[in-house]
Chains A and B, each alone.
Chain A
Amino acid sequence: MDLLATIVVDGLIYAGWLFIVSLGLTLVFGVLNILNIAHGSLYAIGAYASASLVGAYFAVGGDAFPYGSYAALILAAVLVAVVLGPLLERGLLRYFYGRDEVLNVLVTYAVFLILEDVMKLIWGVNPYFVYEPYTLLGDVEIGPLFYVGYDFAVIAAAIVVGLAVWLTLNRTQIGKVVLAVIHDAEMSQTMGVNVQRIYLGAFTAGAFLAALGGALTAPMISVTPGLGANVIIVAFAVVIIGGLGSVPGAAIGALMVGISRAASVHLLPEAELFIVYFVMAIVLMFRPEGLFAKTKARKI
């Protein structure tokens, strides 16, 4: 029983972080129809930015009120999004709308390569640390195990972010417009929707989520080069499982990956490497377009 609880808690912690990142990926795909490999780079830049910003916060006397470092974390993600989101979308991606999906994957792959080196030019190769926010929230004792309070804060953040995105899409005017664009961009444009702005907004929101994922992870890891490449494949798996462009799909996908991974580490460590692909293959076998994919009309 205690093992089961541990698996669920571990799985949730992993899923929380993964959901935030995957949500951004699925949002960008849903609206712009671009599977963004550079999402991994945005994640890494978010981690670097938050490490720098939190470091700066403590350097200017943040010790007096350490909880302010959480604001610095989020601010870092916002900064990354407002700088890089428009830069990438307006400066590059907009020239590729309507082009082949796979070609767009390559465009973002090129961006990924470029950003990898840009990060190195800005932050160097030395690791950055910001452990203060990680230990600030104390320990939580569950059964025989200790967890860090911060882990649960990340789960809470994931829930808040997920709800916010879902409510925005389904309960607000702007959300309705976004859904219209997802459904048919051309038609929306003729109805007077400024599609360009929606694209820009969606990409920036996606970039924010990637950067937020990175910023929230930064306190528990050492921020080093090569961070982005590891995230992107598992985030891909999550959105493929859930169905590209689906918010609940990203949530379910993240949960499935998180919990199956935790189960594998506890029960069958040898299988950990494959479990993600295994889950993905099973899902696609029965649902070739993922769990929550909307069926598209076929062109005759």
Chain B
Amino acid sequence: MRYILFLYAAIAFVVLAAGSIILPDWAMFLFAMALAKGLVCLGIVAMMRGGVVSFGQGLYYCIGAYTATLAANLWGVSDIFALTLFSSVVCLIVGMIFGPMLATYRGIFFAMLTLALSMVLYGTLSKMSVIGGSDGLNIGSPTFLGWAPEGRDLQTALYIYVVAIVVITGTLMRIYFDSEQGLITLATRDNELRVEYLGASVRKVMAYNYTFAAVLGGLGGTIAVVALGHVDPEFAFWTTSGEFVFVAILAGYMSVPAVFVAAIILEVVRSFSNLYFPNTWQLSLGIFLLIVIVTLPNGLGSLLSRRKGGKT
């Protein structure tokens, strides 16, 4: 059945990539940012499948973004492939350090510990005036294997790049979710003890999920900073992480594409409420959140899987 997955991935790529022709500039940028954030949220979904939610995924979003920026500013690397690879490796290493440590925590304690970690990074970066302190740093425009586009071309190239990454990682995560390890994760969500009795190591599974999420966070952060041109410690602030969690909840843990749709919806809602209700955008966003939580308690993805009889 795997070839069908690849076929649909190819179709998803073509359809999303078509956006580079149809979308106006501002919307293409908004979509690129939404997809980048969607990658981070996909990491949260990977953990959510195991029943834990990280409230500190901004940690990796921020590490990825700063790694790319520092690599660009200190060593003059501007190639987007090199930057992406480098910062995801850094996030992989950090994830492998914290993953096993956090794998024993559950529920609100996992959420709060991950939050604390990202807040410590936030605090540290705010203090480091050498690398811009709380004002952050700028990063120049990226190059693509030696090609240095400008204007609309640059936006298009970036957009296609993020679409490609989204489709590739989305497909890989789907394969992982359907693998033995992925199914153990899902079983853990229902009953951890039972999984242990069956002889699987829940800790190991949790550590893997966390590490994958770390890499996804780094990918998202790298693409976001390259698109934005600026990074600041706010990337690790708890409200940033809170948004990621919101997208993950909005998407639900069942469907991969739902994550990216959810991310796009949030960006669009936020952007318009910002402009049309400058004084009450938080109010509108809050009401939107509540409506979503009330009407779609299991997320967007549940709409489809319910129809398919709960199969994920």
Residues of A in contact with B (beta carbons under 8 Å apart): 35, 92, 95, 99, 101-103, 105-107, 109-114, 116-118, 120-121, 233, 236-237, 240, 244, 270, 273-274, 277, 280-281, 284, 288-290, 298-300
Contact with A along B276-307 (1 / 0, CB 8 A): 00011111011101100110010000000000
Of B123, B242, B282, B293, the contact of A116 (CB 8 Å cutoff) = B282
Of A109, A120, A299, the contact of B242 (CB 8 Å cutoff) = A109
Please report the C-alpha to C-alpha distance between residue A109 and residue B111 in the assembled complex, in whole angstroms: 14
Give the interface segment out of B61-69, B112-120, B177-185, B220-228. Answer: B112-120
The A interface is mostly helix, strand or loop, or mixed, namely helix
B176: which A residues are within 8 A, CB to CB? Answer: none
- Contact A298-B193, Cβ < 8 Å, known A95-B294, A107-B293, A280-B116: yes
Please report the C-alpha to C-alpha distance between residue A289 and residue B245 in the assembled complex, in whole angstroms: 22
B127 at the interface (CB under 8 A from A): yes
B281: which A residues are within 8 A, CB to CB? Answer: 117
A244: which B residues are within 8 A, CB to CB? Answer: 108
Would you call A103 and B293 a contact (CB within 8 A)? Answer: yes
Please report the C-alpha to C-alpha distance between residue A112 and residue B285 in the assembled complex, in whole angstroms: 11
Would you call A117 and B293 a contact (CB within 8 A)? Answer: no
What is the count of residue pairs linking A and B with beta-carbon distances less than 8 angstroms?
Answer: 98
Would you call B112 and A103 a contact (CB within 8 A)? Answer: no
Would you call A109 and B289 a contact (CB within 8 A)? Answer: yes
B269 → chain A closest CB, angstroms? 12
Would you call A270 and B245 a contact (CB within 8 A)? Answer: no
Residues of B in contact with A (beta carbons under 8 Å apart): 53, 55, 104-105, 107-109, 111-113, 116, 119-120, 123-124, 126-127, 191, 193-194, 238, 242, 245-246, 249, 279-283, 285-287, 289-290, 293-294, 297
- Chain B CB within 10 A, most for which of A107, A109, A111, A237: A109
Would you call A288 and B123 a contact (CB within 8 A)? Answer: no
Would you call B108 and A114 a contact (CB within 8 A)? Answer: no
B195 → chain A closest CB, angstroms? 11
The 8 closest A-B CB pairs, nearest first, are A113-B286, A117-B283, A114-B286, A110-B289, A273-B123, A102-B53, A110-B286, A113-B282
A273 → chain B closest CB, angstroms? 4
Residue in chain B with minimal CB distance to A29? B108
B48 → chain A closest CB, angstroms? 8
Would you call B285 and A113 a contact (CB within 8 A)? Answer: yes
Please report the C-alpha to C-alpha distance between residue A126 and residue B126 in the assembled complex, in whole angstroms: 28
- Contact A284-B293, Cβ < 8 Å, known A106-B249, A113-B285, A116-B282: no
A281: which B residues are within 8 A, CB to CB? Answer: 113, 116
- Contact A300-B245, Cβ < 8 Å, known A107-B293, A289-B109: no
A280 → chain B closest CB, angstroms? 6
Would you call A105 and B111 a contact (CB within 8 A)? Answer: yes
Would you call B280 and A117 a contact (CB within 8 A)? Answer: yes
Would you call A110 and B290 a contact (CB within 8 A)? Answer: yes
Please report the C-alpha to C-alpha distance between residue A99 and residue B111 in the assembled complex, in whole angstroms: 16
B246 → chain A closest CB, angstroms? 6
Residue in chain B with minimal CB distance to A289? B109
B123: which A residues are within 8 A, CB to CB? Answer: 273-274, 277
A288: which B residues are within 8 A, CB to CB? Answer: 104-105, 109
